[in-house]
Structure 1
Amino acid sequence: MPEKEKLRIDKYLWAIRLFKTRTLAAEACKAGRVKKDGQNLKASYEVKLGDTYNVSKGLERKVVKVTGLLENRVDAKKAVDFYEDLTPVQDTHSFQSMFQAPTLRRDRGAGRPTKRDRREIDDLQEGFFENSRDKEEE
């Protein structure tokens, strides 16, 4: 893959597959979700080798170090060679465990739960939280 000396941050984040489209990467920069040393970056910011960037994408937070400049988007196996993921393990596991825990949600506009619905919700929550506390104590 040919490497360039000058590369925009939005194009780099798209090329290493952190964002599905370059437009989404540019919008993330504009919204302040791409940072270097706590400073928000514009989409036109020039990427340099060895720089570390904090990228927020929804609930996911990543810390990425640039190890190579990539002009075009490539498959995921090759893209990994151009960055180093420095995301702390605690952040990664907390993100994954968030999706394993069931969330109770009612349809919007369904109104308040009836007495019967409330009892069913309470029974479900009671059983779930008791089991999860027992696992934590072990």
Structure 2
Amino acid sequence: MAGSAEPVRKERLDRFLFFSRALKSRTLAQKVIETGAVRVNSERTIRSDHKVGAGDVLTMNLHGRIVVWRILDCGTRRGPAAEAQGLYEDLSPPALPKAEQSPYDAAIAPRDDGAGRPTKKQRRETDRLRGGDEE
């Protein structure tokens, strides 16, 4: 039989996100998909039973980051992280530098030690050093 190529194996989108360890559970994957946070080949989908396979490109908004993956294989189980990383090629853009983050993200970023207003514990230590601990 000439030209009989093996058909590309397709799998449900929620199963792929679970097997690839993008999300902790299939239920969580279904909820994320239904919010419209996942695009398959640049088309928004809200169906968790959408079939994906090798060659498809997923664009997702996960954990406040834009994640772009090209699917290499569907996988058959949720295996260890090393196995899961073999299911896709990460094409994600690099994270934004701190200066380009939104003001909200910059505000909740951890501060350097000694920067900003002192904590209550630090104020008590300062009072003890000054001798103001007497009541």
- Scaled to the shorter chain, the TM-score interval is 0.5 to 0.7
Task: Provide the rounded CA distance (Å) in 1 between the counterparts of 2:75 and 2:26.
Answer: 13
Say whether 1:53 aligns with 2:58.
Answer: yes
User: Helix, strand or coil for the counterpart of 1:7?
Assistant: strand
How many residues in Structure 1 have an aligned counterpart in Structure 2?
Answer: 100
Structure 1 residues without counterparts, runs of 5 or longer: 105-122, 126-138
Does the aligned pair in 2 maintain the 1:62–1:87 contact within 8 Å? yes
Residue of structure 1 equivalent to 2:5: none
Counterpart in the other structure of 1:11: 15
Task: Give me the whole-angstrom Cα distance separating, in 2, the residues matched to 1:17 and 1:94.
Answer: 26
- Greater RCO, CA 8 A, separation 6+: 1
What is the Cα-based RMSD across aligned positions, in Å? 2.8
Residue 55 (structure 1) shift = 1.1
Quote the residue 2:49 is aligned against. Answer: 44
Tell me which protein shows more strand as a share of its residues. Answer: 2
Task: Say which SS state the counterpart of residue 47 (structure 1) adopts.
Answer: strand
TM-score (norm 2): 0.64
- Deviations 1:95-136 (CA, angstroms, capped at 9, x unpaired): 8x96x95638xxxxxxxxxxxxxxxxxx938xxxxxxxxxxx
Identity in percent: 25
Residue 62 of structure 1 deviates from its aligned partner by 0.3
Q: Which residue of 2 aligns with 1:28?
A: 32
Q: Deviations over 1:39-73 (max 9, x none)?
A: 22410000121110111123122001100111210
Give the greater-gyration-radius structure (CA).
2
| 1:94 to partner: Cα distance | 4.1
Contact 1:17 1:76 in 2 (8 A): yes
Match of 2:74 in 1: 69
Segments of structure 2 that go 5 or more residues without pairing to the other structure are 1-7, 110-114, 118-135
Alpha-carbon distance between aligned partners in 2 of 1:6 and 1:103, rounded to the nearest angstrom:
41
Q: Secondary structure at the match of 2:51?
A: coil
